[in-house]
Amino acid sequence: MLIGSSLKMYFGRARTLEWTRAVAAICTEHPAVRQGLVEPFVIPSFPSIPEVIPVATAAGMLVGAQDLHWEDAGAYTGEVSAAELAEHGVALAEIGHAERRRMFGETDETVARKVAAALRHGIAPVLCIGEEIEGEPSAAAAACVAQLDASLALALERGLTGRLVVAYEPVWAIGAPAPADDAHIRAVGSALRAHLRGGALDAQVIYGGSAGPGLLPRIADSVDGMFLGRFAHEPAAFGAILDEALALQEQR
């Protein structure tokens, strides 16, 4: 199970390191991590990555980047390449988040190019997909599968392989007071898993979109983990979700 958080631009350097150290201390001691039941991760802002990596990796946490460019080098002012991120030891890269689509004009084409760049350098894309408007689960699943296929088309065309994390985040649930309905998450999560099964990529599906403590036990049969945001800003909340993952394992 994969459980982690993107810190977006909420924290500065000092707070990012404080949060990472606190969560790393929890992960170091937690049976869910020590027994290999949960693979925790953190995705800080770019400037914090070099300092976060030694703290996080010592505790068994993966470290990701919040974006990357599709080219390996060139005159792309302000951008960061997958090649450089790989040099730092970055394991994951968040790609195609709804905020980047809305604010910075990212499209299925640019997302597909970024996915290919990440896989080319051994970085697992955390590919964010989700429907724009709340509706029936079947329609949401169809929209997400279409978005997923468009985002993976270039990588599959080029025969790229590796790990893929699909973060299902209904756009209408991002920043909302509560996540999507349990039955909705389970329906879309199951559809995405079925669509990815047997493919060229080693794929997992995690849920994000106002995710926090209490949700995992209700959707764990249909997803492979949780993608946390502001509801994990307190390290204790991260620990509570690890507790839930451990309890689920003990019930099986």
**Set 106, 131, 169, 244: catalytic member:** 169
Do both 97 and 201 map to the same domain? yes
Using alpha carbons, select from 106, 79, 80 the residue that is nearest to residue 95: 106
Query: Is the pLDDT confidence value at 125 over 80?
Result: yes
Structural domain contains residue 144: yes
Do both 208 and 121 map to the same domain? yes
Do both 99 and 211 map to the same domain? yes
**Set 30, 39, 94, 97: catalytic member:** 97
Counted domains in the chain: 2
Do both 153 and 46 map to the same domain? no
Told to judge if 97 belongs to the known catalytic residues of this protein, a careful annotator would answer yes
Confidence grade of residue 175 (pLDDT, cut at 50, 70, 90): confident
| Residue 249 pLDDT | 87
Q: What is the DSSP string of 95-158?
A: E--HHHHHHH---HHHHHHHHHHHHHTTPEEEEEE--SS---HHHHHHHHHHHHHHHHHHHHHT
Place of tokens 């909302």: 176
* CA atoms 87, 90, 91, 96: torsion sign: negative
Task: For residue 8, give the DSSP letter.
Answer: T
| pTM (global) more than 0.95 | yes
Using alpha carbons only, how large is the chain's radius of gyration in Å?
17
Look up the domain containing 11 and give its range.
1-66
Q: The domain spanning residue 112 has which CATH number? A: 3.20.20.70
Task: Burial-class residue 64 by CB neighbours within 10 Å (0-12, 13-18, 19+).
Answer: buried
Do both 130 and 162 map to the same domain? yes
Do both 59 and 138 map to the same domain? no
Distance set, CA 183 to CA 1, 138, 175, 222, 224 (Å)? 20, 11, 20, 10, 16
Structural domain contains residue 30: yes
Do both 73 and 52 map to the same domain? no
Told to judge if 84 belongs to the known catalytic residues of this protein, a careful annotator would answer no
Do both 129 and 21 map to the same domain? no
Do both 62 and 74 map to the same domain? no
Average pLDDT for 218-247: 96
Write out pLDDT tens, residues 69-121.
Answer: 999 999 999 999 999 999 999 999 999 999 999 999 999 999 999 999 999 99
Confidence grade of residue 252 (pLDDT, cut at 50, 70, 90): confident
